[in-house]
Structure 1
Amino acid sequence: MLTIHTADEVRVAWDAEPVKDGAVAVEGTRIAAVGPLAALQERFPGTRVRRWPGTLGPALVHEGPLPEAPTPRERVHAVLKLGAVAVLEQHAGTPELRAAAERNDVVVLPGARPAGALVETGRADLAVFDEAGACLATVCAGRLVHRRR
């Protein structure tokens, strides 16, 4: 199912200029298109639109230890709640943590790297942050995995 995500501002990369009234069309696990909301709605008529307050951009890489929680699944979910969809191998060293990451489509990276960019055909990893930097929503491989109420 195709979904268009839009926010007050969209950044195709966190160091890029914000695009006002921008949007990202997501189909399955991939980004179908990035551009102005009006253009995406014209290209994909009748598509569901999720509107978010704040700034939408690429999901992050969590570079430190995973937050403490009672289970590996909860530790991985805590990372998703921060707007990250990737963790470093050195911090996901147990079989249980790796399995929890894999079940949730969280990428385990061999080393640090900057957050990606929102590009057509790229993996649909998005995060929305409010003005204070709190994560409002995380999309991991096209699936909404966190939404702050």
Structure 2
Amino acid sequence: MLTLHTAELLVPGAGSAALPGGAVLVDGDLIARVGPYAELAAEFPHARVRRWPGVLTPGLLVRGADVLLERTYYPDDPYEVTELGADPITGAEALADLKLTESRWGNSARRATQKLLARGVVAVAGRLTIPVVRTAVVRSGLTLLPPVAAVSSDLPSLDPFAGRDTAEQAFFGILEPGAPARFAVFTAPDAEALLAQGATTCVATVITGRLLHRRR
């Protein structure tokens, strides 16, 4: 089935001109067309239409997946927050006190991947050594990449914009015909405002054509 995703502003990728009222036509797990919504809607009148507020961009990349997923524990809400609190737990001593099993690491990673999807993330980079954590990432739909060269501003964070000078630095890929249908939509009016407002403004995340996150 063809699906036409449109937003108030489309930013196809880093260095690409923004397109007001732009749209992405998805066919299966690939992008079929990119262009003005009015033109694509007229050419493909039977496509399902999803209208989103704000700006539609490529999905985002998070670095330091090993730190975020294998050296950070995300308490289970509501079952653990009374005892552990709601904030992620880091530090070798604090993690050792939790006596985490492989199963708990896997459950923590699944909670973390949901937080990432809710921030428009479609790919993570890092070397994962705990099998259940790696499985959680793969099953979530996120693309797992090898570690990438770090820069001085790189600090492991669930927010892909942390430490970035522009929002485009967090983009993963470009929205063009034939590319995998991986993108996100944010309520910010443009990419500049997106950097200031952060990834929690995400309203939708699409990976391989599937809507894996939608803000309720």
TM-score by length of 2: 0.63
Whether 1:77 aligns to 2:114 is yes
More helix by share: 2
Which residue type is aligned with residue 143 of structure 2?
Answer: V
Instruction: Please say if 1:136 is aligned against 2:193.
Output: no
2:179 to 111, 122, 133: 122
RMSD: 1.8
Q: Aligned equivalents of 1:76 and 1:51: distance in 2?
A: 25
State the Cα distance separating 1:20 from its structure 2 match: 0.7
Tell me, yes or no, if the aligned pair for 2:14 and 2:171 is still in contact at 8 Å. no
The one-letter code matched in structure 1 to 2:24 is: V
The CA distance in 2 between the partners of 1:93 and 1:14, in whole Å, is 32
- Does 2:123 align with 1:86? yes
Higher strand share: 1
Shift of 1:38: 1.3
- Summarize deviations over 1:86-131 as a string: whole Å, max 9, x none: 01123x4321121112112211011338521101111000101122
Summarize the alignment of residues 94-109 of structure 1 with structure 2, pairs less than 5 Å apart. 94-109=130-145
Matched residues, number:
148
- Alignment partners' CA distance in 2, 1:51 and 1:88: 30
What residue number does 1:62 align with? 62
Deviates more, 1:53-62 or 1:37-46: 37-46
Shift of 1:41: 1.1
Tell me the TM-score normalized by structure 1. Answer: 0.90
**What is the rounded CA distance, in whole Å, between the counterparts of 2:213 and 2:24 in structure 1?**
17
Question: Which residues of structure 2 form unaligned runs of 5+?
Answer: 77-106, 149-169, 189-196
CA distance in 2 between counterparts of 1:101 and 1:32 reads 27
Q: Secondary structure at the match of 2:6?
A: strand
Note if 1:35 corresponds to 2:35: yes
Q: Identity, % of aligned pairs?
A: 42
> Residues 93, 81 of structure 1: CA spacing in aligned structure 2 closer, same or farther, 3 A cutoff?
farther
Whether 1:145 aligns to 2:182 is no
Write the distance in 1 (CA, Å) between the matches of 2:54 and 2:14. Answer: 13
Does the CA contact (< 8 Å) of 1:7 and 1:21 recur in 2?
yes
